[in-house]
Amino acid sequence: MNIKIIISTIFLLSILPVISISTAQDIIPEESNIPTIQRDVLPVYPFVQIVHRDSNDNLLAYIESDRLAAIDKETIIAVMDHQSTLGLGDPVYKIGKDQVQVIVRQQTINIEKESFFADTILIGGIGLEEDEESTIVLRFNHDGFIALPGDQITYYWNFIRYL
């Protein structure tokens, strides 16, 4: 009886590395799964970083997202053109034969009432007349979180674009 247990244990232990290796191969991202800037679709790669802290400055959440749910292509291109002319020293890098500019902007909000966040929206239309509507420039989906009064949320808007 002990021999059956020993043989079955040895068999299971011998196939475990084979299963692990085949599973690990599925986890490695293929080149097609790596995010890239597709110039013909949108000449900018946007992503957002979110830092959520409580009133005692304790880190409650750090979230990154590049999962776009909505984008206004014309407005984002105009915003990038405007931001690059502000002279804020946005770095330009040469990658192969291409040049890319990295634009990072920070926005901090203080929470006054309990709120739930399941997405992050960049709204255009600052300086619009009262009768004009603001435009959702970008909307990122991400894991949700609850912010309480006194909490602080800092958004880092990151844009990588071809020049």
- Where do the domains of the chain lie? 41-162
Q: What is the mean pLDDT of residues 118-128?
A: 71
pLDDT in tens, 21-71: 555 455 555 555 545 556 666 778 888 999 999 999 999 999 998 888 888
41 alpha-carbon distance from chain centroid: 18
Where do runs of H (alpha helix) occur along the chain?
2-27, 73-84
Give the position of tokens 């929206």.
121
* 1-5, 130-134, 142-146: which is most confident: 142-146
pLDDT of 141: 86
On whether the CB atoms of residues 48 and 120 are closer than 8 A, the answer is yes
CA atoms in the 13 A half-sphere facing the CB of 113: 0
E strands in the chain: 44-53, 59-65, 68-71, 92-95, 98-110, 115-124, 135-147, 152-162
| Other CB atoms within 10 Å distance of the CB of residue 94 | 9
Q: 87 pairs with which residues across the strands?
A: none
